[in-house]
Amino acid sequence: MHPTVYGAWWALPFVLLLLAIALLPTLLPRLWHRHQGKVALGCALAFVLPDAWLHGAPATVEVVLHALLGEYLPFVLLLGALYAIGGGICLRGNLHGSARNNLLLLAAGTVLASFMGTTGAAMLMVRPVLRANDARRHSRHVMVFFIFLVANAGGALTPLGDPPLFLGFLQGVGFFWTLRHMLAPTALLCAALLAVFYLLDRRYWRQEAEALPVDPTPDAPLRLLGGWNLLWLAGVSAALLLGGLWQAPFGVRLPGVRLPGQQLLRDALLLALTLLSLATTSREVRRENHFEWGPMAEVARLFLGIFLSIIPVLAMLHAGLDGPLAPLVRLAGDASGQPLAARYFWLTGGLSAVLDNAPTYLVFFNLAGGDALRLMREATVLGAISGGAVFMGAMTYLGNAPNLMVRAIARQRGVDMPGFFGYLGWALAVLLPLLIVVQWLFWP
């Protein structure tokens, strides 16, 4: 099915789902908690059923299977593996949630994110950070900066750090290209965010210091439990690398999608590593981590709706100048059609803030030509696409899957997390000015 068959109105189910995610948790929290899966499924069916009626069931089955088996299932298996494994690693003990200790915890998580993935780092560090701050009146800002740094910006240095960069690796971008070309902008952005966080947190800490209640988790030396999961975490990295470096001589073909053997093996390994984590981690460790499948299930339900309702939106973008989003495509280049790095940064980032940043990266990677060797040589445009996708995935809860997971875990532990627009306000006030500086310096 050619992407130009979709007119702009096909984006309505996706827009409605975004509005539901943005508004219902605040306006109708009980209704949303009970029925969010039905809302996501309803928005998905609002695309699938009319598409089957107008274009025929076989064509719809093809695009749906491609989205579910080729994109959604690997995405959920990876997130599920990192969630289960990260939830099986426990740092027993507690640091007092002072400004200095919070700075150290966030800095450690930021560094880990590029080597164990933003999801893995977020799941490992979120509970120690929550325990450290469980006696403080003001802690929502800690989790907001946690999302900025650990769940997003920290993952910009390797293809293992964030799904968009892994997709670039699969398209031919060198494994160490990202580290060489993203180190300077990532270091600047993360250092600036940590500095702003420290100044803000120190102010809150001084205001609260004399009135803090008794800490429900008193200070104690940190001790690592669930050490087997470090091995399973290394296995996840190996599985991802295997899926990108090895071309299997076999595969499975279904309507609309061919599943290569390396993807099947990768996904099987991810599932096996998840089961190994569950089998080798004691219940005591998971109980101490307050591990539950609820946050992961919430993300899986929402992204099922997102991956299906986003199909026509991505098709419109892929259609380029021939599609209904041609004005947006024209914005990416100058009058002669040459790509402009600054525009790619803001367009990729702007869409990554409201769409999932992984498929958005692919769209603009292909819009820039899709030739990995040429883009690596020119470097500036590819860096802008990479930075926009990773950094601006933190602009809203929707930009990167760990954002929603961290929010769900924090709320489960009693933190009054900001709503969709409240979080956006934080991002506009703190993150956006720093992004403007980074773009001006590195992708003019």
pLDDT tens across 8-44, in order? 889 899 889 878 877 787 788 888 888 889 999 999 9
Q: So what's the pLDDT on residue 3?
A: 47
Nearest to 367 by CA among 346, 380, 348: 348
Task: Report which of residues 369 and 76 the model is more confident about.
Answer: 76
Q: Is 3 part of any domain?
A: no
Nearest to 102 by CA among 76, 70, 135, 75: 135
pLDDT, tens digit (0-9, with 9 covering 90-100), for 48-88: 999 999 888 988 999 999 889 888 888 889 888 888 988 88
Q: Is 161 part of any domain?
A: yes
Q: Which domain holds residue 337?
A: 8-209+218-442
Residue 62 to residue 46: CA distance in whole angstroms:
17
Token readout for 320 is 């380029």
Provide CB contacts within 8 A for 409, sequence distance 6+: 126, 127, 130, 290, 295
Give me the residues paired with residue 260 across strands. 251
Residue 70 to residue 266: CA distance in whole angstroms:
12
Q: Is 91 part of any domain?
A: yes
Q: Is 144 part of any domain?
A: yes
Nearest to 406 by CA among 145, 72, 91: 145
Confidence check: pLDDT of 4 > 60: no
Q: Is 435 part of any domain?
A: yes
Confidence check: pLDDT of 2 > 70: no
Residue 195 to residue 277: CA distance in whole angstroms:
36
Q: So what's the pLDDT on residue 326?
A: 75
Q: Is 1 part of any domain?
A: no
Residue with structure tokens 């933003």? Answer: 118
Number of domains in the chain: 1
Q: How confident is the model at residue 401 (pLDDT cuts 50, 70, 90)?
A: confident
Q: How far is CA 132 from CA 102, 151, 350, in A?
A: 8, 18, 34
Q: Read off the pLDDT of each residue in 98-112 and give the average, rounded to a whole number.
A: 92
pLDDT, tens digit (0-9, with 9 covering 90-100), for 179-198: 999 999 999 999 999 999 99
Q: Is 279 part of any domain?
A: yes
Mean pLDDT, the chain, integer: 86
Task: Report which of residues 221 and 385 the model is more confident about.
Answer: 385
Q: Read off the pLDDT of each residue in 342-353 and give the average, rounded to a whole number.
A: 92
For the entire predicted model, the pTM comes to 0.78
Among 57-61, 144-148, 238-242, 303-307, whose mean pLDDT is lowest?
238-242
Q: Read off the pLDDT of each residue in 196-211 and give the average, rounded to a whole number.
A: 85
